[in-house]
Structure 1
Amino acid sequence: MLKSLRHVTVAAAAVLMCVLVAPGATAAVRQSTGTTPAAIAVPPLQEDPAPRGANDWSCKPSAAHPRPVILVHGFGAPAAGHFSLYSPYLKAQGYCVFTGTYGTLKDVPLVNLLGGFQSIEYSAAQLDAFVNKVLAATGKQEVDLVGHSEGGVMPRYYIKNLGGAAKVHSFVSWAAPNHGLTISGLYTLGQKLIPGLDEKILPLWPVTSQLTNGTGFLDRLNAGDETPGDVRYTALASKTDELVTPYTTSFLTGDNVENITLQDQSPKSWGEHMSLAFDPAVWKITDKALQRN
């Protein structure tokens, strides 16, 4: 009962974060809406503070782990907190690890330390620049990406529209809302109770509208080939995810994707949405995915 209540509370908080936006935050996000990727001038993502093990720019990938790994956080998170355990774990395995906080609102107090608030196009342009920086530092031609939640959708835009298909070897997503979400029914309920939710309210907060599919952004992203390029895709989802529901919305179609349900490989994993980033079972599945040839 307590777990169920916590799920509803977390989901409700997510909805409130998306809808109750400070005017300054709304203006900051809206300025990138409707632009083409080439027209977006974005600042670099925030590299500091970084989680332990990440952003050692002298690190050179080994023969055992020949590509640098870039970690991509989810909505409303700072990279340092989101990957506070996973980054040092990867580093201990011998990987070169890099990450940063994308999509921040620098003029909004408190929120300016968190990320994922800008539009997908804006954040993907930041990721593009960061990938190029990592490749230049490591002397490699490809990176591996691991993304959680929004961080599992935004890189797909980068891969499909910004040339990322030529620079990404493997892409592992955790609980990505690839085909929209219902937030345990709260979003569906909101559509019924709040007139103009999709047309008037959520578009004030573009990334939210994009992830719920209210604007058709995901329809466009998924049109044609959902797994473009010669990228090895792995889509991991949890049956007990309370935010990205139904959990099968995370799965992708294509010959080069492996769709994995967490509980099929780790029956004891509870798999709440945020806890995936701290679940050793998820890390082990990701280890295997990163080693795909």
Structure 2
Amino acid sequence: MARPFDALSPQRRRLVVGLLVGVGALVLALVATTVVRGLTRGGPVPQDQPGPVLLVPGYGGRTASLDPLAAVLRAEGRDVTVVSLLGDGTGDLDAQAAHLADVADDVLRTSGAPSVDVVGYSAGGVVVRLWVRDHGGGEQARRVLTLGSPQHGTSVAALGAQVAGGCPTACEQLLPDSALLRRLNAGDETPAGPEWATVRSGADQVVTPTGSAALAGALNVLVQDVCPTATTSHYALPADPVVAATVRSTLGAGPPAAPATGCG
């Protein structure tokens, strides 16, 4: 009996075989992703087992801004991944959250850890919240710490959009009362799953008002409550001693706590 391939030329046989191999590889990748997400879901992760740390940069995606935090965490013996955002880091924040989900899957698969801790700086903190709420992060994150994140928007984005007659997608999404933020902040701002903490500075002139960076239900740390003389700007947050102390006091094995000191 003739087989289907018998009527094909050798060149076409190779083409068909190549296509089948490609399809098979794609199916295996999808199955692996599904298995990883399935294994990391189903209940709260262990809070006393710190795992790898993901650092998510802010608007524009400049990963080097997180080098000081990466150094602090690596000195504590933590495995750190600085997440590279899609494109130039000014695109749709929800797409960035879906990308973060892929990165978390990869880190959990390669490390074998039961969870990740995630630090989101500036707009990266909004990306982390979207990941937790809409992209499976609630079953993978043990701790979430956001730094100077415009969780309720910033008037600076509104001013920039007004002056320029519009701004990139992520900028539009960070306008106070944007559709994305209304949806994200409806109901519980810190949904069950991870333990939540935020840090903000009273001297931040990018996220205004600075209270926008606080979340209901989180441990909210104001830099000046820990170090009254601090004049930490938005861009200085990743290298600030209070932030470093908060990273240590919130991402350890014990319950998250505000640092007792941190002026340097």
Q: Provide the TM-score with structure 1 as the length reference.
A: 0.66
- Structure-2 residue corresponding to 1:288: 249
Residue 214 of structure 1: CA displacement?
A: 5.7
Shift of 1:66: 2.8
1:248 matched residue in structure 2: 211
CA-CA distance at 1:182 after TM superposition: 1.2
Percent sequence identity is 30
Counterparts of 1:213-224 in structure 2, within 5 Å, are 213=176, 215-224=178-187
Give the superposed CA RMSD.
2.1
- SS of the aligned residue for 1:274 comes to coil
Query: Is the CA contact (8 Å cut-off) linking 1:176 and 1:244 kept in structure 2?
Result: yes
Alpha carbons 1:65, 1:95 under 8 Å: kept: no
Question: Residue type matched to 1:266 in 2?
Answer: C
Superposed displacement of residue 70, structure 1: 0.5
Out of 164, 170, 187, the residue aligned to residue 137 of structure 2 is 164
Aligned mate of 2:158, from 155, 177, 187: 187
Residue 264 of structure 1 deviates from its aligned partner by 0.2
What is the match of residue 103 of structure 1? 86
Change (3 A) 1:206 1:189: closer
Paired residue for 1:58? Answer: none
Q: Which runs of 5+ in 2 are unaligned?
A: 1-47, 256-264
Q: Does 2:117 match 1:133?
A: no
What amino acid is the match of 2:106? K
Q: In the alignment, what sits opposite 1:32?
A: none
Decide which of 53, 65, 68 is 1:69's aligned counterpart. Answer: 53
Letter in 1 for 2:158: Y
Cα distance in 1 for residues equivalent to 2:227 and 2:150 = 21
- Equivalent residue for 1:229? 192
One-letter identity of the residue aligned with 2:148: A
- Aligned-pair CA distance for 1:188: 4.6
Question: Letter of the aligned partner of 1:289 in structure 2?
Answer: T
Q: Is 1:89 the counterpart of 2:62 in the alignment?
A: no
1:269 to 230, 234, 237: 230
**Mapped contact 2:161–2:172 kept (Cα < 8 A):** no
- For 1:248 and 1:147, locate their aligned partners in 2 and report how far apart those are by CA, in whole Å: 17
Which stretches in structure 1 are left out of the alignment for 5+ residues? 1-63, 105-114
SS at match of 1:208: helix
Give runs of ≥4 in structure 1 deviating > 3 Å: 186-191
Is the contact made by 1:67 and 1:96 (CA closer than 8 Å) also made in structure 2?
yes
TM-score (structure 2 length as normaliser): 0.73
Preserved contact between residue 116 and residue 150 of structure 1 (Cα < 8 Å): no
